[in-house]
Chains A and B, each alone.
Chain A
Amino acid sequence: MLTQDPAGTSYWEEYLNQNPGDKANFIQAKTQFQKAYFKEERLTENEKDALYQKLIRRKATEVKGNRKIFRSYTKYAIAATLALLISIGLYYYRYNASKLPSEILVEYNPIQENVILISGDNHYLFESNTALKINESGIVDENGDSLKTVINDYNTLIVPYGKRSELVLSDGSKLWVNSGSKLKFPSKFSDRERRVYLEGEIYIEVAKNSSRPFIVETPKVKVDVLGTMFNVNAYSDSFVSEDRVVVVEGSVGVKTTSGDRTKLVANESATFTEAELIKERVDVDRFTSWKNGYLLFNDTPMEKVLLELSRYYNITFSEESQNISEQTCTGKIYLSDDVSDVLKTLSILIDGSFTIKQK
C-alpha cells in the first residue's frame, strides 16, 4: 500500500485483519481517495518567465546605478494623473443611450514584460520604452552607453505588449517599433542592400541612398524602398488578420509572398489578406499616430477602438463589449504604460464599467 504515514498503514492492516468483510469497501474507498488531490494554484509559463526576467533584470540596470526594482505603489500614483489627460483628449458620441449600462470584463496579464535586445549571446532588458542607436562601435543605449553587439550578424529587438521603442539604424534610417513586435536588424548593412525582418508594426523614415535599396520583409510581404516614410503593419497574432502598408512620403514597391505586386505613393495604403491586395487612399495620421504615443480616432466604431486597444495591451474584452460596439469615438487615446488608465477613461465615457481580471 502506498502511504506517507506508517502509522496509517499499520492501522489499516490491523483493521482489515480483524474485519475481513470490509475489504471490498476499503479497496473501493481507496481508489476513490487516491484520485483526490489538493488543487494547486499555478503560474502560467509566461508569468513564470516574466517573474524570472524581473528578478535578473537587476543585472542590466545595475550598471546604470541604483535603479529601484519594480514596486507597484509609485506606478499607481502616476496612473491617476495620466487618466485626467486622456479624458480631455477623447470625445465621444452616444448612439444608444437607452441601453442598460454594461459591465465589461477585461482579461489582462498583470506582469509587464521588458523590451529585449538580443545580440549574439548578449541579452539586454529595458524596463521602459527605450531608444537605441547604432553607430560605428555598435548599439548605443539611451544614456549613450555602448552595448556589446555582434557586428556581422542580425540583432533582434523584441517589444512586448504595452511598450514601444525607437531605433536609429546604421544608415541613419529611423524606426519606431510598436507594441508586440519583433524586429531583426544588422549592426551594419551590406554594401548591396539594407534589409530588416519584421513581425508586428513599425513606422520608418528611410535615409535616402539610391544605390542601396531598403527592404522590409515580413512573413507575408516585402516592401522595397529608396527613401521615404511609411508604416508597415504585419502582426502574426489573431487580433488583426490583415497586414497593411501605409506610405506617408515618397513611394514604395510592395510584393506579397503570393506574388501580388503594387506601387504605393504618399497617402496610399495597401492591405493584404490571403486572397487579395487592396489599395486605397487613407488619412495616414490614423495609422501612424501610435509612434507619438497615442491612438487617433475619427468617428471610429467602438468595436475598432477596443480591437486596437486589445492589440496594443494584449487584453481581451468580454462579450458585453458588443453592447457598446456601435458607439463611435473621435479624438485621441494616450497609450499609457498602465492599461487601467485607458480603461478608466473609457468607462467614464461609456455607459459601462471595466473590471480587470488577471490572465
Chain B
Amino acid sequence: MFSRILMDDIEELYNLYIDSLFAYGIRLGFNREQVMDSIHNVYQRIMLSNKTKELRSPKSYLFKSLRNELYDEYRKGIRMERVEGNIEDASFHLQISVEDMLIADEVKVEVKSKINKIMDQLSSRQREVIYLRYTQNYEYQQIADIMGIGVPSCRNLILKALKVLRSENADYFLFLALLKNTH
C-alpha cells in the first residue's frame, strides 16, 4: 500500500503536468496510446520509488523520464520487428494554429505557412530545444538533462537554431521573439 502523502503528491504531480507531458510525447512523434502507456509507467515508477519529495524539479524530471521511456519502447519495438531505424530520425512536431476571429483566413494561412517554413529549416532536435526553451521555459541545465546532452551542446543547439532563424528573414526572428506560450 502507498501512503496517503505519496498519493496526494502523485495526484498533484499528475494534475499539474499531465497536459504538457502528453503534448510533449505527441510532439516526439508517438501515438496517443503509446504516450498514455509511457506516462503511466513514468508515474508508476515514481510511486514505486517513493521519491516525490526528493524531486527538485519534478517537471523536467517527468519530461526526461517520458522521453526516455518513449525512446526505450521505440527501440524495443524496432528490435522485435527487426526494422532498421535510427532514433535520431524521430522527428519533433510543432503544429501551428492561428485562431482569432479578427484575423482574415488568408492572413492566418500566410502566418501559418511562414511559421511552418521557419520550422522546416530547423532540425528535429533544434525544434525540440526551441520548444523546451521558449514555450516550456526551461533553463539550459534542465534542457540538457531532459535531452540527455551536455549543457555546452545544448547551448550550441539553441544558438545554431537561433542563427538559422535570424539568417533567413527578419520576420522569422520576430516570431521567435514574440513566441510566448502554447494554448
Contact = CB atoms under 8 A, between A and B. Distances in A.
Interface of A: 1-5, 7-9, 11-12, 15, 26, 29-30, 32-43, 47-48, 51-52, 54-56, 58-59, 62-63, 69-70, 72, 110-111, 358
Contacts of B156: none
A36 B175 contact: yes
Contact of A41 (B7, B10, B11, B22): B22
B174 A37 contact: no
B97 A11 contact: no
B87 interface: no
Contact of B178 (A30, A41, A62, A70): A30
Contacts of A40: 19, 23, 182-183
A16 to B, nearest CB: 11
B16 interface: no
Given A5-B134, A11-B177, A32-B98, 19 more contacts: A5-B176, A8-B174, A15-B170, A35-B100, A35-B108, A36-B96, A36-B115, A40-B19, A40-B182, A40-B183, A43-B18, A51-B39, A51-B40, A54-B40, A55-B43, A56-B10, A58-B44, A59-B1, A59-B2
Interface in B66-123: 94-100, 103, 107-108, 111-112, 115
A7 B165 CA distance: 13
29 contacts: A3-B177, A4-B177, A5-B176, A7-B162, A8-B174, A8-B177, A11-B177, A12-B177, A26-B174, A30-B178, A32-B103, A33-B175, A35-B103, A36-B112, A37-B97, A37-B183, A39-B96, A43-B19, A43-B32, A51-B18, A52-B11, A54-B40, A55-B40, A59-B7, A69-B40, A69-B44, A72-B33, A72-B37, A358-B32
Interface in B1-57: 1-2, 7, 10-11, 14, 18-19, 22-23, 26-27, 32-33, 36-37, 39-40, 43-44, 47
Contacts of A41: 22-23, 26-27, 32
Contacts of A70: 40
Contacts of A12: 173-174, 177
Given A52-B14, A58-B47, A33 B178 contact: yes
Contact of B177 (A9, A32, A38, A56): A9
Interface residues of B, number: 54
Contact of B131 (A1, A7, A38, A55): A38
Closest CB pairs A-B (n = 7) = A8-B177, A41-B26, A39-B97, A40-B23, A35-B100, A39-B95, A38-B182
Contacts of A56: 7, 10
B180 A2 contact: yes
A48 B137 CA distance: 24
A9 B177 CA distance: 7
Contacts of B23: 40-42
